[in-house]
Structure 1
Amino acid sequence: MTIQWNEMIVPDARALRTSEIRDLLKVAERPEIISFAGGVPDPKLFPLATFNAVYGDLTGDEVAGRRSLQYSISEGLPGLRQWIADDLAAAGAARDIENILITCGAQQGLDMLARLFLEPGREIVLEKPSYLGAMQAFSMRRPSYVGVNMDDDGPIIAELDAAFANGARIAYLSPDFQNPTGRSYSLDRRLAVLETARKYGAIILEDAAYCKLSYEGEMLPSLLALDEVNGDRDAGTVIQLGTFSKTMAPALRIGWITAPRPVICQLVLMKQAGDLHVSTINQEVALRAATALFPAHIETLQDAYRAKRDVMSAALDETMPEGVSWSRPQGGMFIWLTLPENIDSRALLAEAMEDAHVAFVPGQAFFCDQSGGNTARLSFATESTERIVEGIKRLADLIARKGNQ
């Protein structure tokens, strides 16, 4: 008897959908394509010499080397968790290592939190637009999405309040240099978000993946830093996700969750039932590299990405036709493009790839309600400044032709 595989797969798994970005990257890697599609770091900025030295020193030390190749505790190496705790404290978010769990990138953190808090039909609040990878992680639990619109200061508080008033008790938010828009919350909006969450006893999942990639202005405190309740580090409403993927190297797959201890304890059990622990040697390397590199390496990244952002912004200013607008991020890797209402960004992408050899991500993929058909995400992180200028010119020419049709 032939097995009907699709019938054997449970509904939770069938809820998963392919990532438009991952599919697009396979095509955008063609050398003739100027790609603004990938939300990935510039590989030229990876601290290769430091990694070469750290891996060599580690495996050259018999005791440390053998320890780094062994199983480890599920919570993560104490030394790495202490480094993260110290870094959080320096940013105003004092936490103990018992509040920190090391994960296989922040993406695993999203998946674990989804399995911990979500179930079919449970509502979760998302920004409109929001990070596609988070929606992929959440969708396997088949929640109900509640979209909240944004302005330049952050989510619209009246809409957030209404979502919580109607029963939602979880919100996934990105206050710093959000993927995909590059927007950041103002201080007043951060405080209002926290006040609204506390009013209803709601949980905030704060994605801090880009928080260190700040290029101008004052760095505002994270929601985690503002979430102090009488000095009790287990009494807050914020769970924060962090990662080294944007500041050191994605292949390390080192992320972390900072949360009240009851949450961490449950996540540790899930970790034990899943992959036991994150790679021991990669944790050791991350700790040694972070100790050697930071903060100087962060300044190197800031200088490099600031220059690319400025080049893309200037090219947009100089070439884009009337009716097109874009965000002006103070950090991160992305600029958000809003096209005239009559231009569909998915159709535009097909023409851009074929005729102009330029790639970007259509914005509709980032909306939980599939709106945003006239929007697009542009990443300035990986292409050279010369190719950024040329790619924006080609894209602007194509948009202008579309507008004249």
Structure 2
Amino acid sequence: MDFPQRFSNLPEYAFPRLRTLLDSHEPGAKPIAMTIGEPRHAFPGWVKDVLAENIGSFGQYPANDGAPGLQQAIADWVKMRYGVPVDAASQVLPLNGTREGLFNALIALCPETRGGKQPVVLTPNPFYQVYAVAALAVGAEPVYVPATEATGNLPDYTSLPGDVLARVAVAYICSPANPQGAVADRAYWADLIALAEQYDFKIFADECYSEIYRSTPPPGALQVAHEIGADPDRVVIFHSLSKRSNLPGLRSGFAVGGKDSIARLKQLRAYAGAPLPMPLQAVAEQVWRDEDHVIANRALYAEKYAIADEVLGDIQGYAPPEAGFFLWLPVDDGEAATMKLWRETGVRVLPGAYLAREVGGHIPGADRIRVAMVAEKQEMQRGLIKLRDCLYR
């Protein structure tokens, strides 16, 4: 049987690769999982009550474009958070998790050609693997742009040659960045938006970690686009309740952008999407309207930042993350360090190379490990101390 060749050079997804690397080896002690970014803080206790009150609507087909109340709650949150007024009915699309949106938006919005040539999709390197798979799915050429210490851990798209930029259809950008925790400031967004205006491409801003930060709220792509008067369809932002509200199993996120962009996303959703069940839309509406639990959640991460800084602060090359909940730690070899840590201590982390692609014989992140600070504080502290003593002393 023949299969599409466009996926033939796609590497195995990070976590199956990790299982292949580690699972045939016994851990050195009781395992401490610090790999996947699955929040373990408590979600709001009243969620179960909202779900129970709306349980009967499992008997209804979900509203394809999102229930009006949920659309409005998202629009209100965007106005509150970024100062940008958006029309709930025409500029908001609730998502069944942002992975759906980040993938399907490219199907809906990427043209077949750019100037008669194969379109280019820009992605940071390392990156969230969905970006690359989406590019391949639409027949675009993914161009992996280093996001390393030398570039401030964000991709420098402005440095690309003009012939590449002329073919760009979409640029993905994650801020706060996964895995590095770097934040795109207003100047970065303004430069990128100006570049997109010059070369007429769209920006897909993956902002799923935007509500976990040390002190200053990260600026958003839509916020800066609004401030500088850019085309409203230039930017589509993607957000989630997974990290903000510790509800990864709810699978609730949203896309917000210009009316034309969202109309095309809704058109695709009508045929190929998976709208959130109505009881879960009711929960999501109330969660987007509540900030108290977000503030409490951020305070817990502030304590974790302090623990990480205390335990790892003396390590050469340690860079405290500006935001998000990952540590991006320097090692000689990410795979070797991951194996050593597992076999000697039971601490399970992710090799940085598993989040990147080789370009020009170099894999950004091959000399890094990613460590998720999602466990309960005492467990996280134990894990970091084990990690430090195993790899750095």
TM-score range, shorter chain: 0.7 to 0.9
Secondary structure in structure 2 of the residue aligned to 1:169: strand
Written as runs of structure 1 = structure 2, the 5 A alignment for 1:1-400 is: 7-12=1-6, 17-21=11-15, 24=18, 32-42=30-40, 44-47=41-44, 49-59=45-55, 65-66=56-57, 69-90=59-80, 91-97=82-88, 98-116=90-108, 117=110, 121-150=118-147, 151-152=151-152, 154-156=154-156, 158-160=158-160, 162=162, 164-165=164-165, 167-175=167-175, 177-216=176-215, 218-228=216-226, 235-248=232-245, 249-275=247-273, 277-291=275-289, 294-318=290-314, 320=315, 324-339=316-331, 343-369=332-358, 371-372=363-364, 373-382=366-375, 384-400=376-392
TM-score, normalised by the number of residues in structure 1: 0.83
SS at match of 1:246: helix
Change in 2 beyond 3 A, CA 1:69/1:13: farther
3-state SS of 2:189 partner: helix
Return structure 1 stretches of 4+ with deviation > 6 angstroms.
25-28, 229-232
Q: For 1:163 and 1:242, how far apart are their aligned partners in 2?
A: 32
Aligned residue pair count: 374
Aligned CA distance change for structure 1 residues 164 and 187 (closer, same or farther; 3 Å): farther
Alpha-carbon shift at residue 35 of structure 1 (Å):
2.1
Distance 1:196 1:36 in 2: 37
Contact 1:157 1:193 (C-alpha < 8 Å) held by counterparts: yes
Residue ranges of structure 2 left out of the alignment (5+ in a row):
none
**Measured at CA, do residues 94 and 221 of structure 1 come closer, stay the same or move farther in structure 2, by a change above 3 Å?**
farther
Structure 1 residue 183: deviation in Å?
Answer: 0.5
Give the conservation status (yes or no) of the 8 Å contact 1:157–1:192.
no
Checking the alignment, whether the CA contact within 8 Å between 1:127 and 1:155 is kept in structure 2 is yes
**TM-score, normalised via structure 2 length:** 0.85
Letter in 2 for 1:378: V
Q: Which runs of 5+ in 1 are unaligned?
A: 1-6, 60-64
Kept after mapping to 1: 8 A contact 2:136/2:142: no
On the 8 A contact 1:118/1:138 being kept in 2, the answer is no
Structure 1 pair 393–353 and aligned structure 2 pair: CA distance change class (3 A): same
In the aligned structure 2, how far is the partner of 1:123 from the partner of 1:230?
Answer: 26
SS in structure 2 of the partner of residue 326 of structure 1: coil
Secondary structure, aligned partner of 2:286? helix
Paired amino acid for 2:208: A
Tell me the SS of whatever aligns to 1:336: strand
Q: Deviations over 1:61-92 (max 9, x none)?
A: xxxx34x5311332111110111111111222
CA shift at 1:112, angstroms? Answer: 0.3
Shift of 1:230: 8.6
Shift of 1:163: 7.2
CA deviation digits over 1:177-221, x for unaligned, max 9? 2111100012222211111111111211100101111221x3243
SS in 1 for 2:122: strand
1:240 CA displacement: 0.9
CA RMSD for the aligned pairs? Answer: 2.8
Counterpart amino acid of 2:349? F
